[in-house]
Each structure stands twice: as structure tokens, then as C-alpha cells.
Chains A and B, each alone.
Chain A
């Protein structure tokens, strides 16, 4: 994996929602093709903001983001989708008044001809969605919505998938299912960058982890190394259930 080319490179990002108030104060990250990256950190560290800034949803005031060799800093979300980046938000991640199938159709909005093949592929990954294809997404459970959200983002067959706390609000067994799915998606060759509150579970499946603290990337190491790191255990993982 360390020989694979760099696909996403964020360099010293400063970003925030409101003018003059930076939430990110120098975040950097280097992701190689095919990696599964976990971003962990305490509440308010700027994990979700970091992910959103990569996807152009939070304005970057300084620093740069590159996809391969192309500068994609502050690019519009629809342009990033065109370039092969998919994003699954933490909340409000489905179109509630649209059916499951219409949600999926929105995933291939830029390339409608790809819908049939993509829907068949997503149907294999999430068979439950096929059963519920005519149901309104707003009437689905949290776990099912998460499937719809991930399915929609995967419809365009992205090179890079950004997941914002995919296990948030799910029951433990649904959380496990989400992590297994994420691993499966990554194994198909999709580079995954995932923000997670469930740091232990996240580090167990990811190749590398980034620890964010107060808007900066404090340090990075492999998932297994971070799981054993005394400082990470003390600050973010706790000592129970190791």
C-alpha cells in the first residue's frame, strides 16, 4: 500500500464555517490509492469539518487539497463528484420524499446511462435496498437510511469515498454491519476516508489513522499501532474493553 500513488493530499488547511473563526488550524493528510483511513479525535477536534473541507462544503481559507495532481481546493461538490469523490454526510443523508430507487438515481445524476449497471452492483452489496426500492426513504430506519446513503454515494463508482461518522446513532449490531460494509467497499479498490466517534472499532479496520486535536492533525500511524499507543488509549480509547 505504501508504494501506491498518493490520491488525496491535504496540505496545512485552515478552514471554518464563519468568517474569522477557524476550526481547522493546519490540518494535513496524505492518502494513498486503496487505503482505508480513519480520522479520530475528541468532540470538537474538527474531524467532520476536516472531511467537509475536503469536499468543498466548508470554505478553506489557507492551504490546499489535491486529488492526484489536480488542485481541488474549494471546488464545488458537484465538480468533485464528477472527478470521482463520493461523500456520505452524518445527518440528513437521504432524500426523504424520494423512493429508495429515486435516491439511487440521484447518485448517477451526472451519468444516467450508468444507472442500470450501478443499481445492479449496489443491489448485490445491499440486497435489502432492492426489496425496498419503491419505499420512501423518509420512512426507513436509521440503519436502512445509512445503506441508502452509502449506496447513493457508490452509484457513481467513486475513486474516493468520504464517510462522516457512518455508525452514529446505530445499534451495536448495525454499527458492526456498517464497519464490515465499509471494509468490503474498500476491498473493491475504493479509497475510503472515514471520520468516526467509535475510535476503537474504526482503528481495527483501517490501514492508517489520523488523530485530530484542536483543529490540527496531532499524529498518524497504522490502525494497529494507534490501538496500542498509550497516549491514544488514555485520551481517546479508554482502558476498558481493549
Chain B
């Protein structure tokens, strides 16, 4: 008996799914257009829902349904759904993938819309907007951003009797402090020189006056770039930072969070999570990145894009246009999960965590360098860690590793143009 009901249930399930699927597809049912919005970060969903509510109030004919796909399968799912024609109408894009999607012709060009609707793109950081343009056409409009700052632990600085980092700090100050702060007996390191492109490698390369990608050429073989990388490997060799082999298992971020590392370059987006830890709330601080030969940090942020295969482009554009405006940015900022990219909307975020002095993240915007990307970014990004790993573990020189990386990256760049 029981088994039979189970069987019937199993047979009915696909039928039910088919029915509900149909009502989803019937876009114009009742004069309403339903847009699908592909996102991956569950932490942002409540804030986004508020933005969507405001949008729907303003546009009674359109409703927006979020489709949450976890980060680990977001891009694979998206690519497959693009092939199958079931991709969301509007979805999140990042720097790594923008050019691939734009060149693949699956994104709706936005330049014309931006012009005719006077979308306030110029109110978002220019370096960030630039990431979402490909061959002179704008394909995405940023919604939030991230920069890298110097996080430090006030308790460890006090203990070592060192002044806190400030805007006057240079790399020499960092080195002096790292040496003082390192305390092998307590397993405390001055710095965590993690091998992470966004947090450590790129900011140091830019700070040394080097580059990652310029005119289709790799910058890893460049003298200045190598100098930047050496800023990190040198700290590992001197014992001021654990080697990368040790940070695979206990990441630099975790070491900073457990107060075993006095300084760490990390994203602004981490502020909320750190603020939730009582010890870090009391001891944590942020400064602008110390200057090398130049002052620099890396900026990245997510953008909203429209699928070229969408059948509801008009409504989709209305939504993207709304998301680019001040109102949406303010709602998003107040939700706290992310830092809105619209100029002057970050105050709510600063005030939510006054102890951290988060405004330093925005102070750096004037010299922030966009996160480097090309058409097939993932290919050359994947070359970095395997080739630099030994040098970041105190085994092998950084100079030859960086030059090899530069050569291989150039080959990959040549291939993507072919």
C-alpha cells in the first residue's frame, strides 16, 4: 500500500513540475512580465529582495525572481543554460568572465540604452566601469565594489609598542613593523604573505609600478612586477610570514582572524564577518595600502548584465537601469552585505562598523587599478599559483618563476587572440 502511493507520487512529480514550469514560462500572464535574475551570493539575497521590491513598486508590470546558484557551480550552470537557451534574463558578471561572454555574443550591448536613458554610469568608479566594457561597448553596470586594504591588529601592535599604520606608511615601514611583530615563540607572524592574486600579488605588483596585463602582453616578466612579488617572498624568506605551504591549510585570513598575524591585506567585503567576531571588533583596524614606488590597490566589483538571448530585454533593461541608480545603491548599502559602487552611498556602511574606519577603502579609489582581465582570463590565472608556489614556499627564486610565468601567460594570450 505504502509502496504504491510512493510510486504514484513519483509518477506525479514530473507532471507537477511540468505544470508549474508552464506557468513560469507564460511571461505575459496577467499582463506581468517576470524577469529571472541570476545571482550567487546568498548573503546578498535579503538586501537585493528589498531593491527588487522597490523596483516592482515603481514598475507594476514587471516582477523579478532571483535564481540563486552557488558560486561553485554558477559559471558552469550559466554556460550550459546559455547553450540550452534557459539562461536568466539578467545576471551577475565578474571581471574574469566579462570579455569571454561579450566576445561570445551572449551579452546585450548596453551603450545605446545608457545614452538614451542617461543612466548614471559616471557616478560609479571609472576603473570599475572600465572592467565591463569590451572593444568600446559597455556590457555591464557595476552594482558593488571591493578594494584591498591593510588590516591590522591593534592589540598585537600595542604589545610590540608600534604605532598603527596610517596613510604615510611605505613598504619599509611594513617591513620594520613585520620584523618587530613576529614572535616565533607565540607563533605570531607580522604579516601573512599569502599567494593570492587579488589580495596580495596584484596590489604589490601595481604598488611597485609593475603591471599584470598591458596591450595584450603579460607583465610578470617585468622588473618592477618582480620587485612587487619579491616584497612578499622576501617576507616569507625572512620568517615574517608563514610560507604558502603552511597557508594552504590555515589560510592567511584565518590566521589574521585568530590573531596569529598582525597585518593582512584583505578585501573590504570581509569587514562584516570580522565585525561579528568580538575580539576582532575590538582589535581590528584598517589603513590604506602602504606605498611602494607608487600608491595602488586593486578594485573589483560585480556588474549586472543582460542576456542577449532574453526575450524580455525591455523589462530587463529597466531593471538594470534601476539597479544602477542611487536609490537601489542606498537600499543595498543599508543592507550591509556589500559596498555599493554608486558615489556617496557608502556612509551607511561606514557607520555600521565605526571602529574599523572603513572609509579608507573609499579613500583608495583615486588610485585603484582595475582587476586585470582578458578574453580567457581563467587560462592565464590558472598558470600563476602552480608556477609561483615554490617561490612562495621558500623554495626557488621568484625572479625565474615570474619570468617563466610571463612567457607562458604570453603564449596563452596569443592563443586567445587566434
A and B held together in a complex: no
